[in-house]
Amino acid sequence: MSTDPTLWTKRPKFGTAGGPVEVVLTEEGRSRAFAVGARLVRGEASRALELLWAHGGDAIYSRQVPGTVRLELTDIGRINQIAWGYLRSKGYVESFASVQGSHGGGVRLTEAGFAAVKSGEDERARLLERCKREELAMNERKFTDGARVRVAIRNPASFANGAAETMNERAGRIEAFDPSSTNGDPWMSHAYLVRFDEPVPSHWRHGSPLTAFWFAECDIEPEQAP
């Protein structure tokens, strides 16, 4: 999963009481990660699986209102039956017959369902850790968006077709930042998109001029004032 900014946010650890700021997943992040981990389509089925788990793994669809003959739907019963059907097709839940005080039976998690919930929670934990690392990297970034820089490639041989020669010494502005590692290369753990002041001739035959390019932090430096 990506660490899109919509998936996480920062807030005081103790809410309105303040305290240190911590990284937390947004509702969007929590629901997306859970669905990915549980191998479900995001939506009501994913919410149903998590709700059933919160009920301890089994729940009834309806219950009798005390002192009356009237029945009312539980929160489980208010979920669309299409969602439960989808979860049954995945082997995550199974139905059981009516019990005293209920009507229409209920639904319970299977062994596969409990495993899916655990996978969903594990994916949330992994996403949160990635978001924490990204937030830390963002705080450690050397250049901010809009900063003026000059290309100073440390190892020209690592660029194909003479690309280093065409881009070296070019000036521009930082347009974007990607803290994630690229192909396991530690030099690319902090990558910046530089928008050139003027297009750079392509290092590929018949290629269009380059208006921007991603560089490792070590391959750019602050532009010297004239």
Predicted confidence (pLDDT) per residue in 109-130, tens digit = 999 999 999 999 999 999 999 8
Long-range contacts of 159-165 (CB under 8 A, 24+ apart): 159/203, 160/203, 161/203, 161/204, 162/203, 163/203
User: What's domain 5-137's architecture?
Assistant: Orthogonal Bundle (1.10)
The CATH number of domain 148-222, selected from 1.10.10, 2.40.360, 3.10.20, 2.30.30: 2.30.30
* 208 bridge partner residues: none
Query: Cα–Cα distance between 224 and 150 in angstroms, integer?
Result: 8
For residue 158, give the nearest of 218, 201, 209, 222 by alpha carbon. 218
What are the residue ranges spanned by the domains of the chain? 5-137, 148-222
Predicted confidence (pLDDT) per residue in 69-80, tens digit = 788 889 999 999
Reading the block at residue 224, the tokens are 């010297």
pLDDT, one tens digit for every residue, the chain (226 residues): 667 778 988 877 666 655 567 889 999 999 999 999 999 998 999 999 999 999 999 998 888 788 887 888 899 999 999 999 999 999 999 999 876 655 668 999 999 999 999 999 999 999 999 888 877 766 667 788 899 999 998 888 877 777 888 899 999 999 988 776 444 444 455 688 999 999 988 877 777 888 999 888 888 999 875 5
Same-fold call for 5-137 versus 148-222: no
